[in-house]
Structure 1
Amino acid sequence: MDYTGNSQAQHLCVLVHGLWGNPGHLAVMAKSLREKHPEDSLHILVAKRNSNSFTYDGIEVGGERVCQEIEEEIERLAKEGQEIKKLSLVGYSLGGLVIRYAAGLLDSKGFFEKIQPVNFHTFASPHLGVRTPLRGWHNHVWNVLGARTLSASGRQLFTIDSFRDTGKPLLEVLADPDSIFIKGLAKFQRRTLYANIVNDRTAVYYTTGISKTDPFTHLDKIKINYLPEYGDVILDPKTPITPLDAEEPHDTFYGGILKASQTTIGRLPFFLAMIIFIPIGVVAFLINSGIQSFRSNRRIYLHERGLAGIQPGNYRFPLITNMREAVEDVYENINSAQSNEYLVAGTEEEAAQEEPSSSSLDQTPSSQDEFKVPLLRQNSEKEPRPHDSPTLALAPYQFRMIQALDNVGWRKYPVYIHKVMHSHAAIIIRMEKKSFEEGRVVLKHWLEEEFIL
């Protein structure tokens, strides 16, 4: 289907898919966007140069490819007499990180001096990476091993890379308040994110919701509050949950044994995954990962030397301004088997200061539009803590990333997908499936409440 606009459309919206993705994953989103906004008001570009295994090549390479696609599309339209005056970026999963990178590049090129940045929206995007908040050998098994199976993208998502000459992971640079990326992001009129609260096997709530807590860990102990007009899918961002009136059980000797056994049982899926999937699915996954990583490294080599149809020198600016299905299932199943661990109450400030940053956190929130819903500030002082939700055992730089990103200002919407155990795909209806229908509620809310022309 052709989603392009006609010569009257002055607003360009760019949609970017996620890891292992392709433009087909965004077909329902693009179709819904077109049904809401006709051809004379909106031009839609579904980015295609990062399709399938090309998503292994990293956020930097992906961001540069998207930038080139945007520039070429605007140039092509200009030759046909169509002038683009507004730009919106929408990213799904890894695509949300790619458009954060692209926003910094576009701003550095003076792009936003000519074209107004309007919407910056992400769906189930791992803004803080995909590192599981664990502090034991589970960390070593998954956070370290998993990081080495997806080439450059894997290293960046698990934050074990050192980006250029910064000595920091790329995601930390993306969230540095003095970086071109935060400055570009802050110029968008509206920044919105949608985050699954459960059953996201790829990117869990803390990272997609940019939060240091997960108040949805024990759904049996809370009452979920929904936005009235959007079924039991979109949570009320002002008061997403309220406590249930129930007495806390008293721990006894036998109760302690039961709790310990429940903890062990809760981790059985991980152990079973390690025992069962290693000789079958994981072997196939690792073989495929090795092949794709080799090919990815070759593409990156050609890209860096300008031999892949793009000149990277066009997008290399000072970063700091004051200076496939079966394989995917194996990855997601092991990733979702991890369980979170938490910091001792009162230690989160110490954790955030373990690795002092040279950058200040003095960004002021953007106030370019009047929000229908107040910004949810999830800073250490202002973050809602329903039931005094414990702080996750995040890395120190992740706490700093949360603060820097929240200082820019986001409209955050938790999403509860009930009918399917693969909410990461359902949130945007990645494919036409009846069980993904709740994703239509998400897209309806996005188009009616958040996307502005």
Structure 2
Amino acid sequence: MDTATPASASSRPVHLCVLVHGLWGNPQHLKYLSTSLREQYPEDKLHILVAKRNTGSFTYDGIELGGERVATEIEESLEDLARDGTEIKKLSIIGYSLGGLIARYAIGLLYHKGLFEKIEPVNFTTFATPHLGVRTPLNGYHNHIWNVLGARTLSTSGRQLFTIDQFRDTGRPLLAVLADPASIFIQALAQFKHRSLYSNVVNDRSAVYYTTCISRTDPYVQPDAIKINYLSGYEPVIIDADNPVSVKEKETLPSFHQRLSSNTRTVFGRLPIFAFLLIFIPIGSSLFLINSAIQSVRSRQRIRMHEEGKAGIDVAGYRIPLMINDVRREVEDMFENVNNAQEHEYLLAGSEELASPPLSPKLVRANSSPKSKPSSVSESEVDSIKEAKKEHALDFPTLALTADQFAMIQALDEVGFKKYPVFIHNHRHSHAAIIRRMDWKAFDEGKVVVRHWLTEFEV
């Protein structure tokens, strides 16, 4: 075993930053994030851990198991660093896509085990993370089919992402428990000094805007119909969250012949795509469903081994009370089986109060330090804010989400996130481009996103 002298120990990193990849992901997906961090901060300032135990199809195994794996990696890394003479004083966690939910689960476990009493939680950031799940807030038959079948093609993770699971003995979806103000997960999240998220506003086929930005509305359904305002120095990628959109000035309409010519080019330009979809979608869908069935069986086998303690993780050490002081909340039955009952994409006029629960004066945080307590806001200040928004913001309809999802939004907003909408223009795979998941020129707008994130990251 190596021994470290006091001089060498003092030069070792004191801040641990953990990166957690997403569904079907691997550590290589986070290479640009990790290399950018390393270019910004030397090893004597920051130690970087890229979680690897959930690689590939292991992400089928669910948020709970994934969170336990990540918590184990963090604890093992801290032990290894301590043996090497490095005492970690600060902790940051960055989650990409599903990795953001896994990270939220992992920090709850670490918080309950007392880690945050010894290590200061500093930065918690998610990129394109579906905090509200991935259920489509639409009723059409094709969306209903997707909400039903999609949940059953990704094993445990799929059921949790579509919120059709019942987590342990709570009788509620895991994501609802993860966002319960009385849970260890929200209590842990509240401890972090900085909480931020980056959310694609268009072309994210994996996790759409409303869920990644924790929002009741989606102002970007028709981006060409609004004026989008960007942060100075980060145009045209990072949107100004304080003043994201405004009314667009009227433009001169093109002539009939110009529109006809444009439409003709569009139709003929799409013919190869239509032909490709017609031929290959049936084949691809069949292969996908077969692979999903195989991976689901393998996932159940891994979960069973994990539960039996045969996967190298002390499961008993993580099967702890989820609620502070064993507080339990009854299941809300109002929108049960909402996929069958929902009739509209948006709430009907006059029913928006369903999406706007009364503001809590403060989030009760058991065992939290005074610095993490939110400041109270008077009713008059709240009214002033609402009036200012009415005067300067466009009016967008409230999405027809579930009662659980509206509760998640309220709880996460009360904890507080800095939200940064992102507009990727140069590639239709914005879910990958937002973190420059591959070293592609078309993903270079992700460099702008990461550059902004680094200015917010505190060491």
TM-score interval (norm. to shorter): 0.7 to 0.9
CA deviation profile, 1:343-400 (whole Å, cap 9, x unmatched): 12331323678xxxxxx8951699959x9xxxxx9xx969967421011111111001
Which residue of 2 is the match for residue 77 of structure 1? 81
Q: Distance in 2 between matches of 1:272 and 1:452?
A: 50
Q: Distance in 2 between matches of 1:105 and 1:435?
A: 38
Secondary structure of the corresponding residue to residue 134 of structure 1:
coil
Q: Contact conserved, 1:66 with 1:102, CA < 8 A, in 2? A: yes
AA in 2 matched with 1:109: K
AA in 1 matched with 2:441: K
Question: Can you give the 5+ residue segments of structure 2 that lack an aligned partner in the other structure?
Answer: 1-8, 254-273, 327-343, 375-381
Which residue of 1 is the match for residue 395 of structure 2? 388
Secondary structure of the corresponding residue to residue 140 of structure 1:
helix
Q: Does 1:426 align with 2:433?
A: yes
Within a 5 Å distance, the mapping from 1:334-413 to structure 2 comes to 341-350=345-354, 362-363=362-363, 368=371, 386-413=393-420
Q: Does 1:298 align with 2:305?
A: no
Q: Distance in 1 between matches of 2:352 and 2:324?
A: 29
Q: Distance in 2 between matches of 1:228 and 1:51?
A: 37
Q: Distance in 2 between matches of 1:6 and 1:23?
A: 29
Q: Distance in 1 between matches of 2:387 and 2:428?
A: 32
Note the C-alpha offset of 1:218.
Answer: 1.2
Which residue of 2 is the match for residue 331 of structure 1? none
Q: Which moved more, 1:313-322 or 1:108-117?
A: 313-322
Closer/same/farther in 2, CA of residues 58 and 6 from structure 1, 3 Å limit: farther
Note the C-alpha offset of 1:312.
Answer: 1.0
Closer/same/farther in 2, CA of residues 280 and 216 from structure 1, 3 Å limit: same
Which residue of 2 is the match for residue 255 of structure 1? none
Closer/same/farther in 2, CA of residues 207 and 10 from structure 1, 3 Å limit: same
CA deviation profile, 1:211-233 (whole Å, cap 9, x unmatched): 01001111122111111111210
Q: Distance in 2 between matches of 1:224 and 1:409?
A: 24
Which residue of 1 is the match for residue 314 of structure 2? 311
Closer/same/farther in 2, CA of residues 310 and 383 from structure 1, 3 Å limit: farther
Q: Which residue among 189, 202, 223 is the counterpart of 1:219?
A: 223
Which residue of 2 is the match for residue 56 of structure 1? 60
Closer/same/farther in 2, CA of residues 382 and 68 from structure 1, 3 Å limit: farther
Q: Does 1:451 align with 2:457?
A: yes
Closer/same/farther in 2, CA of residues 307 and 24 from structure 1, 3 Å limit: same
Bigger-Rg structure (1/2): 2
Note the C-alpha offset of 1:277.
Answer: 5.8
Which residue of 1 is the match for residue 378 of structure 2? none
CA deviation profile, 1:251-291 (whole Å, cap 9, x unmatched): xxxxxxxxxxxxxxxxxxxx999976652111110000000
Which residue of 2 is the match for residue 321 of structure 1? 324
Q: Contact conserved, 2:181 with 2:364, CA < 8 A, in 1? A: no
Q: Contact conserved, 2:217 with 2:396, CA < 8 A, in 1? A: yes
Q: Which residue among 244, 259, 283 is the counterpart of 2:286?
A: 283
Q: Distance in 1 between matches of 2:303 and 2:388?
A: 40
Q: Distance in 1 between matches of 2:172 and 2:26?
A: 29
Q: Contact conserved, 2:245 with 2:394, CA < 8 A, in 1? A: no
Secondary structure of the corresponding residue to residue 229 of structure 1:
coil
Q: Which residue among 69, 76, 90 is the counterpart of 1:86?
A: 90
Q: Distance in 1 between matches of 2:110 and 2:11?
A: 23
Closer/same/farther in 2, CA of residues 162 and 272 from structure 1, 3 Å limit: farther
Closer/same/farther in 2, CA of residues 200 and 63 from structure 1, 3 Å limit: same
Secondary structure of the corresponding residue to residue 324 of structure 2:
coil
AA in 2 matched with 1:390: P
Q: Contact conserved, 1:196 with 1:208, CA < 8 A, in 2? A: yes
CA deviation profile, 1:88-120 (whole Å, cap 9, x unmatched): 000000000000001110000001000000000
Which residue of 2 is the match for residue 40 of structure 1? 44
Q: Which moved more, 1:72-81 or 1:342-351?
A: 342-351
Q: Distance in 2 between matches of 1:427 and 1:419?
A: 11
AA in 1 matched with 2:317: N
Within a 5 Å distance, the mapping from 1:52-131 to structure 2 comes to 52-131=56-135
Q: Contact conserved, 1:352 with 1:396, CA < 8 A, in 2? A: no
Q: Distance in 2 between matches of 1:126 and 1:6?
A: 39
Root-mean-square deviation (CA), in Å?
A: 2.8
Secondary structure of the corresponding residue to residue 414 of structure 1:
strand
Secondary structure of the corresponding residue to residue 318 of structure 1:
coil
Q: Distance in 2 between matches of 1:215 and 1:383?
A: 18
Closer/same/farther in 2, CA of residues 133 and 431 from structure 1, 3 Å limit: same
Within a 5 Å distance, the mapping from 1:189-200 to structure 2 comes to 189-200=193-204
AA in 1 matched with 2:59: T
Closer/same/farther in 2, CA of residues 410 and 241 from structure 1, 3 Å limit: same
Amino-acid identity (%):
63
Closer/same/farther in 2, CA of residues 149 and 352 from structure 1, 3 Å limit: farther
TM-score, length basis structure 2: 0.81
Closer/same/farther in 2, CA of residues 186 and 403 from structure 1, 3 Å limit: same
Q: Distance in 1 between matches of 2:110 and 2:132?
A: 22
Closer/same/farther in 2, CA of residues 368 and 223 from structure 1, 3 Å limit: farther
Closer/same/farther in 2, CA of residues 41 and 440 from structure 1, 3 Å limit: same
Q: Distance in 1 between matches of 2:143 and 2:250?
A: 34
Within a 5 Å distance, the mapping from 1:433-444 to structure 2 comes to 433-444=440-451
Which residue of 1 is the match for residue 330 of structure 2? none
Q: Contact conserved, 1:226 with 1:236, CA < 8 A, in 2? A: yes
Which residue of 2 is the match for residue 153 of structure 1? 157
AA in 1 matched with 2:209: Y
Closer/same/farther in 2, CA of residues 204 and 383 from structure 1, 3 Å limit: farther
Q: Distance in 1 between matches of 2:81 and 2:11?
A: 8
Q: Distance in 2 between matches of 1:239 and 1:79?
A: 49
Q: Which residue among 186, 191, 212 is the counterpart of 2:190?
A: 186
Q: Which moved more, 1:382-391 or 1:285-294?
A: 382-391
Q: Distance in 2 between matches of 1:395 and 1:149?
A: 22
Note the C-alpha offset of 1:159.
Answer: 0.5
Closer/same/farther in 2, CA of residues 6 and 422 from structure 1, 3 Å limit: farther
Secondary structure of the corresponding residue to residue 392 of structure 1:
coil
